[in-house]
Amino acid sequence: MGIDMSLLKRMNQIYEDTIYAYARVSTASQDIEQQIIKIKQYLKRNNIPLERVKFLKDNDISANKLSLEKRPGLEELRMLIKQGKVKTLIVDHRDRLARNFYEYAFLVKELYKYNVEVIFVATNHPAFSRDFFTEAVHGMLAQNNGLTISSRTQDAMEQFPATPWLGYSRKGKKSETRYFPDPKKAPQIKGFFHEVTKIKTAEELIDLLIENKTVFHNKRFDEILNYLCNPFYCGHIRKGGHYYRLDHVEPIIDLDTFLKVASNLEQVKRSVLDAINASLERSNITPICARCKTQMKFRAGKLGTSGYYVCSNKHYQIKIPVDELNEDLEEHVKEIMPRLDLDLLNKEIRAILNRKEETLKNKFQSIEKVINKLNDELAFLSPTDSNQIKYLFNRIDALMVELEQVHSSLSRVDDAFKELKQLSVLIKNYLIEELERYELYYMYQSFIEKVEVDRDKVIYFNPFARFFKEELE
């Protein structure tokens, strides 16, 4: 009895498709493994080998707070989808992908475009539909559910914060909880609010934030802005554009003062936030000091100016602004890409793949011979040799599993050969300026192993340096 070729043909079809599973939880207190277990149970029920599935996760990532681009696991998944590497996606529930209707609709269009099959494993959860209107309705329901949960949680936190806001002390429990101004800190905070009622320009607010940084225990400037936007300090909560009195909170400022502050912030907040973001932005790659080989420390810049990296090991003269490093990184990648020797790269990759393929084929044939030999032994056994028959069948089953694994590896090598041509086309274009931001980030990670900074130069370490020509031909 030989190998069942129909089985191998079916295996070939199965292993052409790569399956990805995605899981996400919003907070560190939630257990992402519960979603993973449900996905694995689905795989087991449907006889899908676990090794076929690649898992991507976003742990402690809120879909209500962070956009698609700021969820690393989902962003990697989207990149793989665009590369045509995802044929099947397994997720617990729609709201794991997005809680925002527009984001979910955008994601669904990507799934349609690249013909990705989606499987939801949550109990009684509606199957993924190829009808966009149907999926849009499900997306609205996911958003509504997310907003309801978020709203309930936020209401409780706004009215009864577990950790009192700066300038307050908390007394009592549950319905008896009361918040009172801290006699030492409250006057400083009250004075700060009154000063903000007088500002007219973004520059004046920036100066005020710098002057009062110590009042707020040197917190980041964006966090200080959050204090100014919090009606808790006037003993109110905001709902739908209206303010409602919190009887359990003794105000530090009156409502009129808070509204005046809110009006002033409305005029200048965008400019101030831009200045704050510029001071906090980090580089795509954290540099290393060229002298002591230690990772450099990020320091936020002054408001409106770029942050910078400085040696954390007393080489204070070695530092570089973030905007300068990012610009240098981009220019470096653009400069080296045209010099990539694709012929040499393809030749070496093909040699590696050929060796891998040869090894796998030899292993496949070796296992096949053993299975055929065991089948021959079975043919000569008497029905009374039940123990030996059972032993041989168990060995054949184990070898068939191993054969499937080898066949899977062969299919992936074949996929790699096909992708090699596509990779060449992509690199030949090297139009970095047209790449989306996350793709540029992965380009950095691929072609720059590390960056060292010295007093007068930036040194790049390319793990594939041998594939780059010294000069363009």
Q: Enumerate the domain spans of the chain.
A: 5-158, 168-280, 341-429
pLDDT at 162: 79
pLDDT at 152: 44
Strand, helix or coil for residue 180 = strand
Alpha helices in 21-131 (DSSP H): 33-45, 72-82, 94-97, 101-113
pLDDT at 472: 53
341-429: CATH architecture: Orthogonal Bundle (1.10)
pLDDT at 421: 64
Instruction: State residue 436 phi and psi, 5-degree precision.
Output: -70, 160
Which residues in the chain land under pLDDT 70? 1-17, 26-30, 60-70, 99-101, 124, 137, 139-157, 174-175, 303-304, 419-447, 471-473
Instruction: State residue 382 phi and psi, 5-degree precision.
Output: -85, 150
Q: Give the whole-angstrom CA distance, residue 131 versus residue 143.
A: 19
5-158: CATH architecture: 3-Layer(aba) Sandwich (3.40)
Given the structure tokens 């607010």, which residue do they identify?
205
Q: β-pairing, 236-239 with 242-245?
A: antiparallel
Instruction: State residue 119 phi and psi, 5-degree precision.
Output: -125, 120
Domain 168-280 has CATH 3.90.1750.20: yes
Kindly report the number of other CB atoms within 10 A of residue 41's CB atom: 11
**Region class of 241: left (phi > 0), else alpha (psi between -120 and 50), else beta:** left
Kindly report the number of other CB atoms within 10 A of residue 369's CB atom: 10
Written as six digits, the tokens of 418 are: 């096909």
- Residue 57 β-bridge partners: 23
pTM for the predicted model, two decimal places? 0.40
Which residues, 6 or more positions from 235, have their beta carbon under 8 angstroms from its beta carbon?
245, 246, 249, 250, 251, 255
- Strands in 12-72 per DSSP E: 19-24, 53-58
425-453 burial: b if 16+ Cβ within 10 Å, else e? eeeeebeeeebeeeebeebbeebbeebbb
Q: Give the whole-angstrom CA distance, residue 384 versus residue 455.
A: 84
Q: Give the whole-angstrom CA distance, residue 318 versus residue 454.
A: 6
Residue 170: its H or E element: strand 168-171
